[in-house]
A and B are shown apart, each in its own frame.
Chain A
Amino acid sequence: MSALSNSNWNRRNVLQAAMGLAAAGGLAACGGNTGRSGGGSGDALTQYFHAYGEAGTEQAIKRYAAAYKKADVKTNWITGSNFESALFAALLTKKAPDVFEFHPQIQMVKSGQVADLSDIINPVKDDFNPADIKSHTVDGKIYGVRMIDDPQFFFYRKSMLEKAKVDVPTTLDELLEAAEKLTTSKVKGVFLGNDLTPAINPLLWSAGADTLTADNKPAFHTDAVVAGMKQLRQLFTSGNLLLDAPADYWDPSAINQGLCAIQFCGMWAMPAMQQALGDDLGVFPFPKVGDNGKQSVYNGGWSMFVNAKGKNVDAAKEYVKWLWIDQKQYQEDWATSYGFHIPPRTSIAQSATKLKSGLPAEGVKLFNEFGHFDNIGWTQAMITALTDAFANSVRKNGDPNAALATAEKKVNAELKKLFG
């Protein structure tokens, strides 16, 4: 007989032990990551954030949540590159977040995924950047609160351009020439991201085209865009473009490590670049494409949404109002203390001292002068269609005209589903 058989375990003991474990598990769950130091009272809310690259951002979000007294707010900080997948998968379950950050998407409105936030935004609507309000509005209702605006443009090493006797490019032709002159055995001229997708929308706008027209028809298939794609293909095969960098365009390490002279990136990375390169840094918008184009800047950003199918919609809206509408000091802290972002609230943007001088002020100027905002009607399926067109023609050497025609067909099918 084994030693185990001598013990006094019986079914009752096992059941008691199991109940004890379950109770312990329940107690342990109470100590979850709520973002607060002690136990809280009131509603329990969950918010989803993608992992920002700037140091201190996670702690900041949890600090804001901890300061909210009407509910326990648990923060889910999702690392890796699959934030969208994790978010959308969670939204289908009972453990869906009450509050989450994302970009404005009409599909989410049509499917009833996000709650109408007009009632909390309308009283301060005039203090928001009108373009941000427009990009979150469907049929007169506002579905998200913009937290930050993220202009994206080119950063360049002034010393490298001076040494190569290159002026700041204002046209795509000039960018190609500059890339050639700046490329050495150790440094590539330009970095546009490992898959070139950051250049897609700026190329359209710089060529005088757009994703969709005002009445929601495809607006990207033009001769200027086709010509621009051919030029991008030329740059891609020239040997002057940095490819397969260890970190992608959103990370400043390519320019900071001296892998390239010019890098496309967002204003969020400006503090890290300034820390590494000091004053040897300048910015310029995406250059003009063709004769009728105009320089452009993509104003990305993140917005806060409330899960309309959640259990605590009212409490979630109250929390969003408290943090992203009432707490101006947190909004300014979020926009300027880690990476640099432009606060969507005009009053905060005007008082943010860190953005008033030097390179950040130049970034704000580009944002105001050349900025293009998200179109809520431009859905993920349409984004994928255009991304595929660029991948097939610019990277795979397909015919841009045919690739854009295919994308146009897919976008039209998507528009038909959305608007009939």
Chain B
Amino acid sequence: MSTTTTRGVAQPAPAKASPARPRRGLRGNPTFNFWLFTGPFLIGLVIFVFVPIVWSIWLSFFDARFTVTPSKFIGLDNYKSMLTNSNFTGSLVTFTVFAALIVPLTWALSLGLAMLVHRLRFMRAFFRSVFFLPTAVSYVAAALIWKMSIFTGVRFGLMNTVLGWFGVENIAYLSDPNPPWYWLVIVTVRLWLQSGFYMILFLAALQNIPAELYEAAAIDGAKPGWQTFRYITLPQLRATSTAVILLLLVAAYQAFDEFYNIVTTKATWGQTPLMVLYKTALGENQDYGAGSAGAVILTLLICLVTLLQGKFMGFGRGEDSK
């Protein structure tokens, strides 16, 4: 042990306790140590984040097709082109619809699953694992399973087989946007993939609610079930719910894999902003200028939404301003 004991109280060893190894050169220099530990990460950040951002802004003012080192300056043409591109503006609507569907549905389903698993007396670990396992599945793999075996439009697709038992005709879930069955495919695959993760968060929160609260409520005559859930469980989960909703919104913003693999790039609907940018810049068109302009517009929109969200929900507001 490297501490000394004085009158039975443990004291930290004095700084002089190891004179045998004097500080040598740069090793004792705090500035050097700072750069030693943070330098590699800062270099990575500059190379892989800041340089691409600046380069992207620069590209957005040039005719940059099939090249990322263009020479023809075209001003705001790329911005005009993206803002008048109905696929890009439509993708913002798609994202809004997706968020409006997936956030409350995942919240409700993961909370429901957590309540079920929490109340289980037997095999709790088993069911917890069963519901959590889809989290480990690749989005691409899951999307292809949904598309090619569950929701195919042919008679041997799983859904059409089941519907066929009830005399329902085969449904083309993905080719025909009227009615928009593709939402059923996209939302269910995302629900399957992510509900288990949020269930674990809710389960941890449920386990932290003191049992005394329920006992006191029972003594006061609260009925078990909805009343207890409404007035005790739900308020106790408020912090977790807020975090879950924020995480779900962020995840919805990043939606790409399942849309790309389920809807295909040949449609003009069901395209998220990331998908449109991918098609513009990295797809067959290879228009890095327009793609960069779209990325800048999207970034500005996200900043605006974040600021508005902060204003309305109070995030980032100091104690004094409350």
Contacts and interface: CB of A to CB of B under 8 A. Distances in A.
Interface of A: 84-85, 88-89, 91-92, 107-108, 111, 113, 186, 194-195, 197, 236, 239, 242-246, 259, 380-381, 383-384, 387-388, 391-392, 395-397, 417
Nearest to B178: A397
16 contacts: A84-B284, A85-B278, A111-B65, A186-B155, A195-B175, A195-B266, A236-B176, A243-B153, A243-B172, A243-B175, A243-B176, A244-B153, A246-B157, A383-B284, A391-B267, A395-B267
Given A194-B264, A381-B285, 5 more contacts: A85-B284, A92-B68, A236-B176, A243-B153, A244-B172
A33 to B, nearest CB: 24
Main secondary structure of the interface of B (DSSP, over half): loop
A88 B286 CA distance: 7
Contacts of A387: 266
Contact of A388 (B87, B177, B278): B87
B32 interface: no
Interface residues of B, number: 35
A381 B287 contact: yes
Contact of B174 (A107, A108, A194, A239): A194
Contact of A244 (B175, B282, B283, B286): B175
Contacts of B178: 396-397
A380 B177 contact: no
A244 B154 contact: yes
Interface string B66-103: 11100000000000000000010000000000000000
Contact of A195 (B87, B264, B283): B264
B284 A380 contact: yes
Contacts of B268: 388, 391-392, 396
Contacts of B175: 194-195, 243-244, 395
B266 A246 contact: no
Interface in B265-322: 266-269, 278-279, 282-287
A89 B291 CA distance: 14
Contacts of B266: 195, 197, 387, 391
Contact of A245 (B68, B154, B264, B287): B154
A406 to B, nearest CB: 8
Contacts of B176: 236, 243, 395
B45 interface: no
Main secondary structure of the interface of A (DSSP, over half): helix
Contact of A384 (B149, B151, B284): B284
Contacts of B155: 186
A84 B66 contact: no
A11 to B, nearest CB: 12
Interface in B225-279: 264, 266-269, 278-279
A387 B87 CA distance: 12
A391 B182 CA distance: 15
Residue with the highest number of chain A CB atoms closer than 10 Å, among B67, B268, B283:
B268
B35 to A, nearest CB: 19
Contacts of A194: 174-175, 264
Contacts of B177: 395-396
A244 B152 contact: yes
B42 to A, nearest CB: 23
A89 B178 CA distance: 35
A107 B285 CA distance: 10
A262 to B, nearest CB: 16
B202 interface: no
A289 B148 CA distance: 33
Contacts of B149: 246
Contacts of B286: 88, 107, 380
B15 to A, nearest CB: 22
A391 to B, nearest CB: 5
A295 B99 CA distance: 47
B71 to A, nearest CB: 11
Contacts of B154: 242, 244-246, 259
Nearest to B64: A111
A111 B149 CA distance: 42
B173 interface: yes
